Amino acid sequence: MPHNVAIVGGGLTEWGERDATWKDLAQEAGKATFNDVDGIEPEDVEGLFVGAVQPERFAFQSHVAPLVAELLGVEVNKMIARTELACASGQAALRYAWLAIAAGQLDVALVLGVEKMNIDREHMPEMQSNMTNVLDREFDGVNGLNGPSHFAQFAQRHMHEHGTTDEQLAMVSAKNKNHAAETDFAQYRKHVDVDDVLDSYPIAPPLRLLDCSGITDGAAGVLLVSEEKAEELDAETTAYVTGSGQSCMASNSINNLPSMTTWPQAGEASREAYEQAGIEDPLTDIDVAEVHDCFSISEIIEYEQLGFADEGEGGQFIEDGRSHLDGDVAVNPRGGLLGCGHPLGATGVCQALEVYRQFAGDVPNARQVPGDPETGLIHNLSGSGSVHSVMTLARDPQ
């Protein structure tokens, strides 16, 4: 029988445009993670998994997993790896750590996501060019397709087919940025309303500046342990991994995506995770969801593909307040990517840490999900939206 696996704590850096190196961020998050968990020291870690997307280009450094081990004083004696899956790199690291512990290979694993994306203003063209690497650079990149222009296509088509409005897009951004205003590590900590979003600078119509996530430096870490180790630690709060799904439908290039209004990969990944977790109705069985709102349209499509809303009804779902803290399922209470920023390799790890902290009640009251949440979900898309990853979590083991 596979072993139950729990997150027992974690920590992170402040996110934003940081005057810090890649190494600095890794050390900050690592120290914060160990400080958060009584009973686990660096020498107890048997496996280390580092989510990092482009350290070769952003920080001019490869082979970063052993580098992190050295920086944190971790002598890994069983398993070490860097994971790279574009924006889902952090969740990929979580998934590998979970599988290793579930298989009985490890008892304690450290997962760290790190990204240093802001170089200096002189190198802004290079920073922007780096982001095209997660698409098919030779085809999509040279045709001017980067994040905003690509996701604007999704928004345009969703509006055309389903009547989604600019105001509904803005409602997503306003919700998440207002949550981020209550999040002490977030890149953007300013309350905004729908009119502020609609009045912001147009980037790629219909997407405006406040519809887009930022270029972010940041790191986050969590410690995963076997159920037996969690009992030994007498952990006050746990977040057990109950399911995990992933899907890629042979569509790395935008030209080969199966749809411009749906992500069937997300539906397939979520169904796999739900089946493992015994979730029959995600709308009633999930209390808190951290989803990949790299752009406001993303969250609307994800409502539909994760089973919270019917196809084409994502805009109405946000308009009716059903994804708010007091709605059917609280979506992105930390502020999501739109509010916290998006340091690529760290995002998935931070999402899992947020669910853990929601279970612990260790977030400001202004963004605490009411009713003692007991179940959660994290979701990441990566590349052109070709790959989707979903993980479900619960306060108690199955």
Burial of 218 from C-beta contacts in 10 A (0-12 / 13-18 / 19+): buried
Look-up of token digits 């998935």? 348
Lookup: tokens for 176: 């998440």
* Active-site hit among 87, 212, 294, 350: 87
Question: What is the bridge-based pairing of β-strands 375-382 and 387-394?
Answer: antiparallel
Q: Distance between CA atoms of 312 and 294, rounded to whole angstroms?
A: 19
Catalytic status, residue 179: no
CA angle at 296 for the pair 291 and 299, rounded to the nearest 5°: 30
* Type of residue at 138: E
CB 273 within 8 A of CB 244: yes
* Active-site hit among 158, 292, 342, 388: 342
Catalytic status, residue 150: no
User: Can you spell out the DSSP letters for 226-255?
Assistant: EHHHHHHHT-S--EEEEEEEEEE-S--SGG
- 296-305 and 166-180 are packed helices; what angle lies between their axes, rounded to 10 degrees? 100
Active site residues: 87, 342
